[in-house]
Amino acid sequence: MTLSASSFAQSVPEKEQFDPVAVVNGISIDRSECAALERNETAVWVEIEGQKACMRYYAAGLKPSPGPNPVAVIWMNGDVLGPKGNNADKRQKGFGPTEMVAQERELSSRFGVPVIFLGRPGTYGSAGKHHTMRGRPVEALLVNAAIDILKQRYGIQSLALGGHSGGGTLVAEMLARRGDLSCAVISSGAPAYRAYLEARAFIKPGETLRRFDPYASLDKVRNDSNRRIFVIGDPRETNVPFSTQELYYKGLVTRGHAAWLLPLQRATDARYHNLVDFGETAIGMCAAGASTDKIIATLEAMPDQRSRVTN
């Protein structure tokens, strides 16, 4: 199945580029500015529990609102700042919405399903301060609400949710908050967040955790025999220890969820962390209805990850 960009591509390309300085300092978008972006179908305005934010997205392959769209992929990016939160040049410089829309068009055409890239708060144009919001309950609250709006706006009936690194951690958190996911892919994420922080000696055992920990919410993941969950990681990883990814996977299986752990020694970066191409492939194929065996075989046969700026 090949999708026609002119007939289906939803988001309108915009000329401006992402500003790495704004990513460090925090991105502000008021309601009127967001309304203009909404007309380009690159934003949703979220108001929930006293929080307000303009969340950016870049979509292709969707039938126009109100749909229906029988299935759609939503992908969430990893962190774009280092631990100190003072440099976004690597992940937020030299490109913008035009490149994001083109990327989603390519992915939608490749898998034959609609694809949406949802920028986490403070990243890829979304309002917020990434350094102080990433991994916090407020981020999960805003992301969950944005997904609700996108689902309603386009009449999405089956939702496939994937993410890399911090975006993968959010996928795990959404599994505990949502009962409408048909596919979930966690690529190099930290779904056992406390275990990850303790393994890296970032916190001491028993220390108060101010971030969400999907592993602690495993009992809230609803039973769904039709949902497939893929946990993808490189066993050599030095950023998020693979043992903590395996811990979350075992927690899923113990509770009777249909889950697969894919140890792929395919990351080529120094930390063996970047598996974005593999995560995108898994979620696209899952949304398109490919068998689990075919998804695994495809990932194992894929070439090394291409050079890319998005995550």
**Nearest CA among 259, 254, 257, 260 for reference residue 225:** 257
**Nearest CA among 277, 276, 273, 283 for reference residue 302:** 277
pTM over 0.85: yes
Q: CA 37, CA 264: separation in Å to the nearest integer?
A: 38
Q: CA 250, CA 128: separation in Å to the nearest integer?
A: 34
| pLDDT of res. 248 | 98
Q: CA 43, CA 33: separation in Å to the nearest integer?
A: 10
Residue type (1 letter), 260: W
Residue 7: Cβ-neighbour burial (10 angstroms; 0-12, 13-18, 19+)? exposed
What value, to the nearest 5°, has the Cα angle with vertex 54 and ends 83 and 64? 120
**Low-confidence residues in the chain, pLDDT < 50:** 1-7
Boundaries of every domain in the chain: 5-301
| pLDDT of res. 5 | 43
Q: CA 150, CA 145: separation in Å to the nearest integer?
A: 9
DSSP assigned state of 42:
-
Architecture of the CATH domain 5-301: 3-Layer(aba) Sandwich (3.40)
| pLDDT of res. 307 | 81
For 116, the 3-state DSSP assignment is strand
| pLDDT of res. 9 | 64
- How do residues 22-50 score in pLDDT, each as one tens digit? 999 999 999 999 999 999 999 999 999 99
| pLDDT of res. 90 | 87
| pLDDT of res. 306 | 82
The DSSP secondary structure of 124-150, one letter per residue, reads TT-SB-HHHHTTSHHHHHHHHHHHHHH
CA torsion, points 128, 134, 137, 143, in degrees to nearest 10? 60
